[in-house]
Structure 1
Protein backbone atom coordinates (compact mmCIF):
# COMPACT_ATOMS: atom_id res chain seq x y z
CA UNK A 1 0.00 0.00 0.00
CA UNK A 2 1.34 3.39 -1.00
CA UNK A 3 1.41 6.25 1.54
CA UNK A 4 1.34 9.84 0.31
CA UNK A 5 1.95 12.75 2.65
CA UNK A 6 1.48 15.67 0.27
CA UNK A 7 -0.64 16.70 -2.68
CA UNK A 8 2.05 16.49 -5.36
CA UNK A 9 2.81 12.83 -4.55
CA UNK A 10 -0.87 11.95 -4.68
CA UNK A 11 -1.49 13.82 -7.93
CA UNK A 12 1.38 12.07 -9.73
CA UNK A 13 0.13 8.67 -8.53
CA UNK A 14 -3.47 9.29 -9.61
CA UNK A 15 -2.42 10.61 -13.02
CA UNK A 16 -0.23 7.54 -13.68
CA UNK A 17 -3.08 5.20 -12.87
CA UNK A 18 -5.62 7.18 -14.87
CA UNK A 19 -3.32 7.01 -17.90
CA UNK A 20 -3.54 3.22 -17.55
CA UNK A 21 -7.34 3.47 -17.66
CA UNK A 22 -7.95 2.44 -14.06
CA UNK A 23 -11.28 3.20 -12.39
CA UNK A 24 -10.69 4.97 -9.06
CA UNK A 25 -12.69 4.54 -5.85
CA UNK A 26 -12.21 6.77 -2.80
CA UNK A 27 -13.44 7.15 0.77
CA UNK A 28 -12.22 10.06 2.93
CA UNK A 29 -11.97 9.64 6.71
CA UNK A 30 -10.81 11.47 9.82
CA UNK A 31 -9.03 8.36 11.05
CA UNK A 32 -9.64 6.30 14.20
CA UNK A 33 -10.72 3.64 11.76
CA UNK A 34 -13.14 0.82 12.60
CA UNK A 35 -14.93 -1.88 10.64
CA UNK A 36 -17.53 0.63 9.49
CA UNK A 37 -14.82 2.45 7.55
CA UNK A 38 -13.47 -0.82 6.19
CA UNK A 39 -16.93 -1.63 4.79
CA UNK A 40 -16.57 1.44 2.56
CA UNK A 41 -13.33 0.09 1.12
CA UNK A 42 -14.79 -3.40 0.72
CA UNK A 43 -17.57 -1.89 -1.40
CA UNK A 44 -15.07 0.23 -3.33
CA UNK A 45 -12.84 -2.77 -4.05
CA UNK A 46 -15.74 -4.56 -5.74
CA UNK A 47 -16.38 -1.71 -8.16
CA UNK A 48 -13.00 -0.08 -8.85
CA UNK A 49 -9.51 -1.00 -10.04
CA UNK A 50 -7.81 1.35 -7.58
CA UNK A 51 -9.00 2.22 -4.05
CA UNK A 52 -7.69 5.29 -2.23
CA UNK A 53 -8.20 6.29 1.40
CA UNK A 54 -7.48 9.60 3.08
CA UNK A 55 -7.01 10.48 6.74
CA UNK A 56 -7.36 14.11 7.77
CA UNK A 57 -8.88 15.50 10.96
CA UNK A 58 -10.65 18.51 9.51
CA UNK A 59 -10.62 21.41 12.01
CA UNK A 60 -13.31 23.49 10.30
CA UNK A 61 -16.10 20.99 10.89
CA UNK A 62 -15.73 21.06 14.68
CA UNK A 63 -17.82 23.65 16.50
CA UNK A 64 -16.36 22.66 19.84
CA UNK A 65 -12.58 23.05 20.10
CA UNK A 66 -12.51 20.58 22.99
CA UNK A 67 -14.13 17.99 20.70
CA UNK A 68 -11.40 18.62 18.12
CA UNK A 69 -8.68 18.18 20.74
CA UNK A 70 -10.25 14.97 22.04
CA UNK A 71 -10.80 13.44 18.61
CA UNK A 72 -8.72 10.22 18.53
CA UNK A 73 -5.63 10.31 16.31
CA UNK A 74 -4.33 6.82 15.59
CA UNK A 75 -2.61 7.16 12.23
CA UNK A 76 -0.13 4.28 12.55
CA UNK A 77 -2.84 1.88 13.70
CA UNK A 78 -5.10 3.17 10.93
CA UNK A 79 -2.46 2.50 8.28
CA UNK A 80 -2.05 -1.06 9.55
CA UNK A 81 -5.81 -1.58 9.50
CA UNK A 82 -5.99 -0.38 5.90
CA UNK A 83 -3.07 -2.60 4.89
CA UNK A 84 -4.54 -5.63 6.61
CA UNK A 85 -7.92 -5.12 4.95
CA UNK A 86 -6.44 -5.88 1.55
CA UNK A 87 -8.88 -3.44 -0.07
CA UNK A 88 -6.83 -0.23 -0.20
CA UNK A 89 -4.01 0.56 -2.65
CA UNK A 90 -3.03 3.99 -1.34
CA UNK A 91 -3.67 6.30 1.60
CA UNK A 92 -3.37 10.09 1.47
CA UNK A 93 -2.27 11.89 4.66
CA UNK A 94 -2.47 15.57 3.71
CA UNK A 95 -1.18 18.43 5.81
CA UNK A 96 -3.46 21.38 6.50
CA UNK A 97 -1.77 23.45 3.77
CA UNK A 98 -2.61 20.75 1.19
CA UNK A 99 -6.31 21.22 1.93
CA UNK A 100 -6.29 24.90 2.95
CA UNK A 101 -3.49 26.57 0.94
CA UNK A 102 -4.84 30.03 1.79
CA UNK A 103 -5.28 29.39 5.51
CA UNK A 104 -7.62 27.17 7.52
CA UNK A 105 -10.94 28.80 6.65
CA UNK A 106 -14.05 27.12 5.23
CA UNK A 107 -15.84 28.16 2.08
CA UNK A 108 -19.52 29.01 2.38
CA UNK A 109 -22.10 26.81 0.66
CA UNK A 110 -25.83 26.80 0.11
CA UNK A 111 -27.12 23.23 -0.03
CA UNK A 112 -30.77 24.11 -0.69
CA UNK A 113 -31.58 24.04 3.02
CA UNK A 114 -30.11 20.61 3.77
CA UNK A 115 -27.45 22.33 5.86
CA UNK A 116 -30.04 24.01 8.09
CA UNK A 117 -31.60 20.81 9.41
CA UNK A 118 -30.57 18.63 12.39
CA UNK A 119 -26.77 18.72 12.71
CA UNK A 120 -26.67 22.02 10.84
CA UNK A 121 -29.11 23.60 13.28
CA UNK A 122 -27.13 22.50 16.33
CA UNK A 123 -23.64 22.93 14.84
CA UNK A 124 -23.53 26.21 12.82
CA UNK A 125 -20.94 26.18 10.05
CA UNK A 126 -20.35 22.43 10.38
CA UNK A 127 -21.39 21.62 6.83
CA UNK A 128 -19.36 24.49 5.39
CA UNK A 129 -16.36 22.68 6.90
CA UNK A 130 -17.50 19.32 5.55
CA UNK A 131 -18.16 20.76 2.09
CA UNK A 132 -14.79 22.50 1.95
CA UNK A 133 -12.71 19.44 2.78
CA UNK A 134 -14.76 17.01 0.67
CA UNK A 135 -14.74 19.28 -2.38
CA UNK A 136 -10.97 19.73 -2.12
CA UNK A 137 -10.30 16.02 -1.64
CA UNK A 138 -12.55 15.06 -4.55
CA UNK A 139 -10.74 17.54 -6.80
CA UNK A 140 -7.35 16.20 -5.73
CA UNK A 141 -8.10 12.47 -5.83
CA UNK A 142 -10.33 12.68 -8.92
CA UNK A 143 -12.23 9.46 -8.16
CA UNK A 144 -14.86 7.90 -10.38
CA UNK A 145 -16.75 6.74 -7.29
CA UNK A 146 -16.69 7.96 -3.68
CA UNK A 147 -18.11 6.11 -0.69
CA UNK A 148 -19.74 7.49 2.47
CA UNK A 149 -21.53 5.73 5.34
CA UNK A 150 -25.25 6.11 5.95
CA UNK A 151 -24.63 6.58 9.68
CA UNK A 152 -23.88 10.20 8.76
CA UNK A 153 -26.93 10.34 6.49
CA UNK A 154 -27.17 14.12 6.49
CA UNK A 155 -23.51 14.36 5.50
CA UNK A 156 -24.16 11.86 2.69
CA UNK A 157 -27.04 14.02 1.43
CA UNK A 158 -24.87 17.15 1.65
CA UNK A 159 -22.05 15.51 -0.33
CA UNK A 160 -24.47 14.38 -3.04
CA UNK A 161 -25.79 17.94 -3.28
CA UNK A 162 -22.23 19.34 -3.34
CA UNK A 163 -21.29 17.13 -6.29
CA UNK A 164 -24.40 18.27 -8.16
CA UNK A 165 -23.88 21.97 -7.39
CA UNK A 166 -20.19 21.91 -8.35
CA UNK A 167 -20.73 19.55 -11.31
CA UNK A 168 -17.99 17.23 -10.08
CA UNK A 169 -17.46 14.10 -12.23
CA UNK A 170 -17.90 11.54 -9.45
CA UNK A 171 -20.66 9.15 -8.35
CA UNK A 172 -21.43 9.26 -4.61
CA UNK A 173 -22.46 5.96 -3.04
CA UNK A 174 -23.96 5.42 0.39
CA UNK A 175 -23.01 2.30 2.37
CA UNK A 176 -25.32 0.92 5.11
CA UNK A 177 -24.43 1.61 8.74
CA UNK A 178 -22.22 -1.07 10.28
CA UNK A 179 -23.17 -2.12 13.80
CA UNK A 180 -21.71 -4.00 16.73
CA UNK A 181 -23.46 -7.19 17.79
CA UNK A 182 -25.48 -5.14 20.29
CA UNK A 183 -26.80 -2.93 17.50
CA UNK A 184 -24.74 0.11 18.51
CA UNK A 185 -23.62 1.94 15.37
CA UNK A 186 -19.86 1.75 14.82
CA UNK A 187 -18.22 5.10 15.51
CA UNK A 188 -14.79 6.46 16.35
CA UNK A 189 -16.42 8.06 19.40
CA UNK A 190 -17.29 4.64 20.84
CA UNK A 191 -13.70 4.32 22.05
CA UNK A 192 -14.51 7.02 24.62
CA UNK A 193 -17.31 4.94 26.18
CA UNK A 194 -16.80 2.75 29.20
CA UNK A 195 -17.80 -0.89 28.86
CA UNK A 196 -20.95 -0.21 30.88
CA UNK A 197 -21.81 2.79 28.70
CA UNK A 198 -21.31 0.78 25.51
CA UNK A 199 -23.69 -1.86 26.79
CA UNK A 200 -26.27 0.72 27.87
CA UNK A 201 -26.02 2.60 24.56
CA UNK A 202 -27.63 -0.30 22.70
CA UNK A 203 -30.94 1.30 23.72
CA UNK A 204 -30.41 3.81 20.89
CA UNK A 205 -30.68 1.06 18.27
CA UNK A 206 -33.44 -0.72 20.17
CA UNK A 207 -35.44 2.51 20.20
CA UNK A 208 -34.99 2.98 16.44
CA UNK A 209 -36.30 -0.54 15.89
CA UNK A 210 -39.37 0.34 17.96
CA UNK A 211 -39.87 3.48 15.87
CA UNK A 212 -39.70 1.31 12.74
CA UNK A 213 -42.49 -0.87 14.18
CA UNK A 214 -44.59 2.18 15.09
CA UNK A 215 -44.10 3.83 11.67
CA UNK A 216 -47.42 4.60 9.90
CA UNK A 217 -49.29 2.83 12.73
CA UNK A 218 -48.75 5.49 15.41
CA UNK A 219 -48.85 9.26 14.81
CA UNK A 220 -45.61 11.21 14.55
CA UNK A 221 -46.40 13.19 17.70
CA UNK A 222 -47.05 9.99 19.67
CA UNK A 223 -43.80 8.43 18.42
CA UNK A 224 -41.92 11.57 19.47
CA UNK A 225 -43.52 11.38 22.91
CA UNK A 226 -42.67 7.70 23.35
CA UNK A 227 -39.03 8.19 22.35
CA UNK A 228 -38.69 11.18 24.71
CA UNK A 229 -40.13 9.09 27.55
CA UNK A 230 -37.64 6.28 26.88
CA UNK A 231 -34.60 8.53 27.25
CA UNK A 232 -36.03 10.61 30.08
CA UNK A 233 -36.24 7.38 32.06
CA UNK A 234 -32.77 6.08 31.09
CA UNK A 235 -30.03 7.09 33.56
CA UNK A 236 -26.76 8.39 32.16
CA UNK A 237 -28.23 9.48 28.83
CA UNK A 238 -29.55 12.77 27.53
CA UNK A 239 -31.32 12.92 24.19
CA UNK A 240 -30.30 16.03 22.25
CA UNK A 241 -32.90 15.49 19.55
CA UNK A 242 -35.07 12.91 17.84
CA UNK A 243 -37.02 13.50 14.66
CA UNK A 244 -38.60 11.79 11.72
CA UNK A 245 -37.66 13.58 8.52
CA UNK A 246 -38.27 13.38 4.80
CA UNK A 247 -35.26 11.58 3.32
CA UNK A 248 -35.03 13.97 0.36
CA UNK A 249 -35.37 17.35 2.09
CA UNK A 250 -34.33 16.26 5.62
CA UNK A 251 -37.12 18.43 6.96
CA UNK A 252 -38.96 17.15 10.01
CA UNK A 253 -42.44 15.85 9.29
CA UNK A 254 -45.55 15.87 11.41
CA UNK A 255 -47.52 13.53 9.14
CA UNK A 256 -46.73 10.48 7.01
CA UNK A 257 -47.47 10.98 3.32
CA UNK A 258 -47.78 7.80 1.29
CA UNK A 259 -45.55 8.95 -1.56
CA UNK A 260 -42.62 10.11 0.61
CA UNK A 261 -39.68 8.23 2.15
CA UNK A 262 -38.83 8.84 5.78
CA UNK A 263 -35.93 8.26 8.17
CA UNK A 264 -35.67 8.51 11.94
CA UNK A 265 -32.72 10.52 13.29
CA UNK A 266 -31.47 10.59 16.86
CA UNK A 267 -28.63 12.15 18.84
CA UNK A 268 -27.93 11.05 22.41
CA UNK A 269 -25.26 12.00 24.93
CA UNK A 270 -24.02 8.93 26.76
CA UNK A 271 -22.12 10.55 29.59
CA UNK A 272 -20.21 13.26 27.69
CA UNK A 273 -19.98 11.31 24.42
CA UNK A 274 -22.30 12.46 21.64
CA UNK A 275 -23.63 9.57 19.52
CA UNK A 276 -25.69 9.84 16.34
CA UNK A 277 -27.76 7.22 14.58
CA UNK A 278 -30.58 6.92 12.08
CA UNK A 279 -32.79 4.34 10.41
CA UNK A 280 -34.81 4.18 7.20
CA UNK A 281 -38.51 3.66 7.89
CA UNK A 282 -40.68 1.45 5.73
Structure 2
Protein backbone atom coordinates (compact mmCIF):
# COMPACT_ATOMS: atom_id res chain seq x y z
CA UNK A 1 0.00 0.00 0.00
CA UNK A 2 1.57 3.30 -1.05
CA UNK A 3 2.23 6.34 1.11
CA UNK A 4 1.13 4.63 4.34
CA UNK A 5 3.27 4.70 7.52
CA UNK A 6 2.26 1.09 8.21
CA UNK A 7 0.45 -1.82 6.62
CA UNK A 8 -3.36 -1.50 6.52
CA UNK A 9 -5.40 -3.28 9.19
CA UNK A 10 -7.29 -5.32 6.57
CA UNK A 11 -6.11 -7.41 3.62
CA UNK A 12 -6.25 -5.40 0.40
CA UNK A 13 -9.06 -7.56 -0.96
CA UNK A 14 -11.29 -7.17 2.11
CA UNK A 15 -14.05 -4.58 2.38
CA UNK A 16 -13.38 -1.63 4.66
CA UNK A 17 -17.14 -1.18 5.18
CA UNK A 18 -18.98 -2.70 8.13
CA UNK A 19 -21.94 -3.52 5.88
CA UNK A 20 -22.15 -5.63 2.74
CA UNK A 21 -25.40 -4.05 1.58
CA UNK A 22 -25.33 -1.96 -1.64
CA UNK A 23 -24.43 1.71 -1.36
CA UNK A 24 -27.39 4.09 -1.38
CA UNK A 25 -26.26 6.67 -3.96
CA UNK A 26 -28.19 9.96 -3.84
CA UNK A 27 -27.71 12.40 -6.72
CA UNK A 28 -28.66 15.83 -5.42
CA UNK A 29 -27.65 18.28 -8.17
CA UNK A 30 -26.45 21.71 -7.05
CA UNK A 31 -26.77 22.16 -3.27
CA UNK A 32 -25.68 25.02 -1.00
CA UNK A 33 -22.69 23.95 1.09
CA UNK A 34 -24.24 24.48 4.52
CA UNK A 35 -27.41 22.65 3.48
CA UNK A 36 -25.34 19.65 2.38
CA UNK A 37 -23.26 19.80 5.57
CA UNK A 38 -26.41 19.67 7.72
CA UNK A 39 -27.70 16.75 5.66
CA UNK A 40 -24.43 14.89 6.15
CA UNK A 41 -24.62 15.34 9.91
CA UNK A 42 -28.19 13.99 10.05
CA UNK A 43 -27.35 11.00 7.88
CA UNK A 44 -24.17 10.26 9.86
CA UNK A 45 -26.15 10.16 13.10
CA UNK A 46 -28.67 7.84 11.48
CA UNK A 47 -25.92 5.62 10.10
CA UNK A 48 -24.24 5.41 13.52
CA UNK A 49 -27.58 4.23 14.95
CA UNK A 50 -28.00 1.71 12.10
CA UNK A 51 -31.18 3.45 10.97
CA UNK A 52 -29.97 3.74 7.34
CA UNK A 53 -27.54 1.94 5.04
CA UNK A 54 -24.23 3.37 3.84
CA UNK A 55 -25.09 6.43 1.77
CA UNK A 56 -23.15 8.40 -0.83
CA UNK A 57 -24.16 11.98 -1.67
CA UNK A 58 -23.21 13.11 -5.19
CA UNK A 59 -23.56 16.82 -5.90
CA UNK A 60 -22.09 20.16 -6.87
CA UNK A 61 -21.87 23.31 -4.77
CA UNK A 62 -22.35 26.95 -5.72
CA UNK A 63 -19.18 29.02 -5.40
CA UNK A 64 -17.87 28.70 -1.81
CA UNK A 65 -14.62 28.62 0.18
CA UNK A 66 -14.40 26.11 3.06
CA UNK A 67 -11.64 25.91 5.64
CA UNK A 68 -10.68 22.70 7.44
CA UNK A 69 -8.89 22.31 10.76
CA UNK A 70 -5.39 22.92 9.38
CA UNK A 71 -6.11 26.25 7.70
CA UNK A 72 -3.72 29.09 8.52
CA UNK A 73 -4.59 32.76 8.36
CA UNK A 74 -2.13 33.14 5.49
CA UNK A 75 -4.13 30.59 3.46
CA UNK A 76 -7.34 32.63 3.50
CA UNK A 77 -8.70 34.39 0.40
CA UNK A 78 -7.37 37.81 -0.53
CA UNK A 79 -10.48 38.69 -2.57
CA UNK A 80 -12.71 39.42 0.43
CA UNK A 81 -15.09 36.50 -0.13
CA UNK A 82 -16.47 34.73 2.97
CA UNK A 83 -15.15 31.41 4.23
CA UNK A 84 -17.11 28.63 5.94
CA UNK A 85 -15.13 26.94 8.73
CA UNK A 86 -15.91 23.23 8.74
CA UNK A 87 -15.18 20.15 10.87
CA UNK A 88 -13.15 18.17 8.34
CA UNK A 89 -9.42 17.68 8.12
CA UNK A 90 -7.20 19.56 5.71
CA UNK A 91 -6.86 23.24 4.91
CA UNK A 92 -8.82 25.69 2.77
CA UNK A 93 -10.32 24.82 -0.59
CA UNK A 94 -12.92 26.04 -3.03
CA UNK A 95 -16.04 24.38 -4.40
CA UNK A 96 -18.10 25.44 -7.38
CA UNK A 97 -20.26 24.30 -10.26
CA UNK A 98 -18.38 21.98 -12.60
CA UNK A 99 -16.64 20.23 -9.72
CA UNK A 100 -17.93 16.75 -8.79
CA UNK A 101 -18.31 16.45 -5.01
CA UNK A 102 -18.86 13.09 -3.30
CA UNK A 103 -19.70 12.65 0.39
CA UNK A 104 -19.66 9.00 1.54
CA UNK A 105 -21.59 8.45 4.80
CA UNK A 106 -20.25 5.01 5.70
CA UNK A 107 -19.84 2.91 8.81
CA UNK A 108 -16.29 1.54 8.67
CA UNK A 109 -15.34 -1.95 9.78
CA UNK A 110 -13.55 -2.32 13.11
CA UNK A 111 -10.82 -1.50 13.85
CA UNK A 112 -11.25 1.76 11.95
CA UNK A 113 -8.35 2.43 9.59
CA UNK A 114 -8.38 6.09 8.55
CA UNK A 115 -5.26 5.85 6.37
CA UNK A 116 -6.62 2.89 4.43
CA UNK A 117 -9.94 4.67 3.93
CA UNK A 118 -8.21 7.75 2.49
CA UNK A 119 -6.02 5.62 0.22
CA UNK A 120 -9.08 3.77 -1.08
CA UNK A 121 -10.78 7.06 -1.89
CA UNK A 122 -7.65 8.14 -3.76
CA UNK A 123 -7.50 4.83 -5.60
CA UNK A 124 -11.06 5.24 -6.84
CA UNK A 125 -10.22 8.70 -8.21
CA UNK A 126 -6.98 7.55 -9.84
CA UNK A 127 -8.84 4.71 -11.54
CA UNK A 128 -11.49 7.15 -12.78
CA UNK A 129 -9.25 9.89 -14.15
CA UNK A 130 -6.95 7.37 -15.83
CA UNK A 131 -9.97 5.71 -17.42
CA UNK A 132 -11.06 9.11 -18.73
CA UNK A 133 -7.63 9.73 -20.25
CA UNK A 134 -5.36 11.35 -17.62
CA UNK A 135 -3.09 8.33 -17.63
CA UNK A 136 -0.25 9.85 -15.57
CA UNK A 137 -2.40 10.72 -12.55
CA UNK A 138 -1.13 9.41 -9.23
CA UNK A 139 0.00 10.32 -5.74
CA UNK A 140 2.53 12.68 -4.19
CA UNK A 141 4.08 11.15 -1.07
CA UNK A 142 3.37 13.44 1.89
CA UNK A 143 0.21 14.95 0.39
CA UNK A 144 -3.32 13.66 0.06
CA UNK A 145 -5.45 13.84 -3.05
CA UNK A 146 -4.77 12.90 -6.66
CA UNK A 147 -2.13 14.65 -8.73
CA UNK A 148 -0.84 15.04 -12.27
CA UNK A 149 2.96 15.33 -12.57
CA UNK A 150 4.67 18.35 -14.08
CA UNK A 151 6.22 16.02 -16.65
CA UNK A 152 2.77 15.19 -18.07
CA UNK A 153 1.73 17.54 -20.86
CA UNK A 154 -1.85 18.78 -20.69
CA UNK A 155 -3.81 18.95 -23.94
CA UNK A 156 -4.90 22.52 -23.20
CA UNK A 157 -1.95 24.97 -23.22
CA UNK A 158 -3.76 27.04 -20.58
CA UNK A 159 -3.25 24.27 -18.02
CA UNK A 160 -0.71 24.84 -15.21
CA UNK A 161 2.73 23.31 -15.72
CA UNK A 162 3.88 22.34 -12.20
CA UNK A 163 2.67 19.25 -10.33
CA UNK A 164 -1.05 19.89 -10.11
CA UNK A 165 -3.89 18.57 -8.01
CA UNK A 166 -6.91 17.31 -9.91
CA UNK A 167 -8.87 16.02 -6.88
CA UNK A 168 -8.86 16.96 -3.19
CA UNK A 169 -9.87 15.01 -0.08
CA UNK A 170 -11.04 16.09 3.36
CA UNK A 171 -12.75 13.72 5.79
CA UNK A 172 -14.13 13.39 9.29
CA UNK A 173 -14.84 10.12 11.13
CA UNK A 174 -17.06 10.10 14.23
CA UNK A 175 -18.32 6.95 15.95
CA UNK A 176 -16.85 4.99 13.08
CA UNK A 177 -18.93 6.86 10.47
CA UNK A 178 -17.39 8.94 7.69
CA UNK A 179 -18.37 12.43 6.59
CA UNK A 180 -17.13 14.88 3.94
CA UNK A 181 -15.11 13.24 1.19
CA UNK A 182 -13.69 14.19 -2.19
CA UNK A 183 -13.92 16.83 -4.92
CA UNK A 184 -12.91 16.08 -8.52
CA UNK A 185 -12.30 19.05 -10.81
CA UNK A 186 -14.14 18.55 -14.11
CA UNK A 187 -15.17 21.75 -15.94
CA UNK A 188 -14.94 24.25 -13.07
CA UNK A 189 -13.03 27.51 -13.25
CA UNK A 190 -9.66 27.80 -11.49
CA UNK A 191 -10.06 31.53 -10.92
CA UNK A 192 -10.99 31.27 -7.25
CA UNK A 193 -7.97 29.11 -6.40
CA UNK A 194 -5.75 32.05 -7.32
CA UNK A 195 -6.88 33.92 -4.19
CA UNK A 196 -6.07 31.22 -1.59
CA UNK A 197 -3.27 28.84 -0.64
CA UNK A 198 -5.31 25.83 -1.74
CA UNK A 199 -4.96 22.89 0.66
CA UNK A 200 -2.10 24.79 2.30
CA UNK A 201 0.19 24.09 -0.68
CA UNK A 202 1.95 26.95 -2.46
CA UNK A 203 4.55 25.05 -4.51
CA UNK A 204 2.09 23.29 -6.84
CA UNK A 205 -1.00 24.06 -8.89
CA UNK A 206 -4.58 22.92 -9.47
CA UNK A 207 -6.04 21.51 -12.68
CA UNK A 208 -9.22 20.04 -14.15
CA UNK A 209 -10.10 17.04 -16.29
CA UNK A 210 -11.11 19.41 -19.09
CA UNK A 211 -7.76 21.22 -19.12
CA UNK A 212 -5.79 18.00 -19.01
CA UNK A 213 -7.74 16.36 -21.84
CA UNK A 214 -8.42 19.43 -23.99
CA UNK A 215 -12.16 18.80 -24.14
CA UNK A 216 -15.14 19.37 -21.89
CA UNK A 217 -15.42 16.61 -19.29
CA UNK A 218 -18.66 17.16 -17.40
CA UNK A 219 -19.48 16.02 -13.89
CA UNK A 220 -22.06 13.70 -15.45
CA UNK A 221 -19.38 11.98 -17.54
CA UNK A 222 -17.09 11.50 -14.54
CA UNK A 223 -19.79 10.42 -12.09
CA UNK A 224 -20.50 6.92 -13.45
CA UNK A 225 -16.88 5.74 -13.54
CA UNK A 226 -16.21 7.30 -10.13
CA UNK A 227 -19.17 5.61 -8.44
CA UNK A 228 -18.12 2.25 -9.88
CA UNK A 229 -14.50 2.70 -8.81
CA UNK A 230 -15.51 3.94 -5.34
CA UNK A 231 -17.68 0.89 -4.72
CA UNK A 232 -14.90 -1.41 -5.92
CA UNK A 233 -12.20 0.31 -3.83
CA UNK A 234 -14.25 0.24 -0.64
CA UNK A 235 -15.12 -3.43 -1.16
CA UNK A 236 -11.54 -4.47 -1.96
CA UNK A 237 -12.25 -5.47 -5.55
CA UNK A 238 -10.07 -2.52 -6.64
CA UNK A 239 -6.77 -2.90 -4.81
CA UNK A 240 -4.77 0.10 -3.61
CA UNK A 241 -1.58 0.23 -5.66
CA UNK A 242 1.58 2.33 -5.60
CA UNK A 243 0.96 5.25 -7.97
CA UNK A 244 3.47 7.57 -6.30
CA UNK A 245 5.49 9.71 -8.73
CA UNK A 246 6.99 12.29 -6.32
CA UNK A 247 7.37 13.33 -2.71
CA UNK A 248 6.81 16.75 -1.15
CA UNK A 249 6.54 18.39 2.27
CA UNK A 250 3.42 17.61 4.27
CA UNK A 251 1.34 20.83 4.42
CA UNK A 252 0.21 19.85 7.92
CA UNK A 253 3.75 20.55 9.17
CA UNK A 254 3.95 24.13 8.00
CA UNK A 255 5.36 27.08 9.92
CA UNK A 256 2.60 29.52 10.78
CA UNK A 257 2.63 33.11 9.63
CA UNK A 258 4.33 32.53 6.29
CA UNK A 259 3.78 34.97 3.46
CA UNK A 260 1.46 34.21 0.58
CA UNK A 261 3.48 33.20 -2.46
CA UNK A 262 2.54 34.09 -5.99
CA UNK A 263 0.28 31.46 -7.57
CA UNK A 264 1.50 30.00 -10.83
Fold-level match, TM-score > 0.5?
no
Structure richer in helix, relative to its length: 1
Structure richer in strand, relative to its length: 2
Higher CA-based Rg: 1
Greater relative CO, 1 or 2 (CA 8 Å, sep 6+): 2
TM-score by length of 1: 0.26
TM-score by length of 2: 0.28
